[in-house]
Amino acid sequence: MELFATHLAALQKITEPDFLVGFRLESLARLQQSSPVNFRQGLNIAVEPKDWDLGALLDGLGQSEVDVNLPEVGGVQVSHFKLWQIKQPETLYQLWQRFQDPFWARESDKEQLWWMQQTFVDEIVYVHIDRRVASDEPIVIKHKVQAAPLRTAFWIEAEAMSQVSVVIEKSGKSQGLIMDDIRVLADDEATLDLSTIQDYALRDTLIVQFRQARIGQNAHVGLTDVVMGGSFVKSSQVTSLGKPGASALNTVLYLGEQEQRFDLFTGSRHLAPNTVSNIYTKGVVNHQAKALSRGMIQIAAAAGGSNGYEKQDALMIGSACEADAIPMLQIDNHDVKCSHGSTIGQLDSDKMYYLQSRGLDATSAQQMVVQGYFEPLLQEVADSRMRTLVHKKVKKVTRP
């Protein structure tokens, strides 16, 4: 692990507050104890990048550009902290206490990628929504990666009884390692819908992303991830329902083409009674693309009266692509409702025949079938631009 220490020494040449230096050193110690990245699931499923040279991936210092559109109602603040040029260390320290407590690492104690993100994080984008703020207009954050490697943290805090949606659009043509870690705190009776879409370069771009949400009493969080870019994507999206009446909706849409590789995990943790979660993962792959989706619903012994559901669907175009789905349940209380299902299949030949008999060529017919396949979940996405980007990607995925 001398490699990691060398890179951290380079980062520490930049002056940072003591608490941040201490955090990096502590994270480095955990990183040195962590296991190497596991790209296999079971005996027969492997989703791995072509090249995984950590030394090369960590070289350099990333840069980004952040553009924010705020709703007119007020009561929303967005701050961008570049950690090598902090101008408000006291403010950042206060946030650090809430967003870097041990809770967030609990599910990832042994993950090398997790501790890499913590050790080398470059920047933080913080979103704060005041108490009782309600807006039909979304908060839109456009995050453009100008140079990689880049490690970004997004911290989003919705105070009690607020009702807002946040859209994060991530783009960039830089090749290399791009990591981000999104954490959501939803206070009691808050409603927060967070949608993220990434459209990075397809070649030599490795994407690692973490999403976590802590949900208060009678609060609701919806997390939607649209995965389109990157030669390799490893993603984790987990909601924690920590108080009675909390609810969560986890949605992941993915579109893979050429030789893209996706390893996607979604999970919900029921920690309190009378909580509700729904997980939907839906994707399409073509050419030589490969995707694995894993889902997990955990219901703790103290979470009686809870309800969990997960559904994973994959659509394959052609014979050279591959899709796998692994739904899982872990239930420690039998006074609950919990179920799961998955489907993996090819394009419906009857639909294709019908559309072609009406004059469409094979490619146009495929596009129409795939559009219809995604449409039920796209209707739940608040941002119209996000829906437009998905429609454009469908045309790329379905081309010969």
Domain boundaries, the chain: 2-397
136: its two tokens: 């039909």
pLDDT, mean of residues 261-267: 96
Which residues, including other chains, have CB under 8 Å from residue 73's CB and lie 6 or more apart? 133, 134, 135, 137
pLDDT value at residue 12: 60
pLDDT value at residue 11: 60
- Residue 37 carries which DSSP code? P
pLDDT value at residue 14: 62
Q: Which is nearest to 84 in space by CA: 125, 122, 124?
A: 122
pLDDT value at residue 382: 61
Q: Are strands 123-129 and 232-241 parallel, antiparallel or unpaired?
A: unpaired
**Among 82-96, 336-350, 362-376, which stretch is predicted with the lowest mean pLDDT?**
82-96
Residue 79: strand pairing partners = 126
Is residue 8 helix, strand or coil? helix
pLDDT value at residue 338: 94
Q: What one-letter code names the amino acid at 181?
A: D
Residue 27 has pLDDT above 60, yes or no: yes
Per-residue pLDDT tens digits for 293-334: 999 999 999 999 999 999 999 999 988 999 999 999 999 999
Per-residue pLDDT tens digits for 85-132: 676 788 888 888 889 877 777 655 568 899 889 988 999 999 999 999
pLDDT value at residue 36: 83
Q: Which is nearest to 123 in space by CA: 160, 164, 155, 165?
A: 155
Give the C-alpha separation, 148 to 178, whole Å.
Answer: 6
Give the C-alpha separation, 234 to 223, whole Å.
Answer: 17
Residue 195 has pLDDT above 90, yes or no: yes
How many distinct helices (H) and strands (E) make up the chain?
Answer: 8, 20
Q: Which is nearest to 338 in space by CA: 281, 293, 277?
A: 277
Higher pLDDT, 132 or 22: 132
Per-residue pLDDT tens digits for 145-192: 999 999 999 999 999 999 999 999 999 988 899 999 999 999 999 999
pLDDT value at residue 42: 76
**Among 3-12, 180-189, 232-241, 242-251, which stretch is predicted with the lowest mean pLDDT?**
3-12
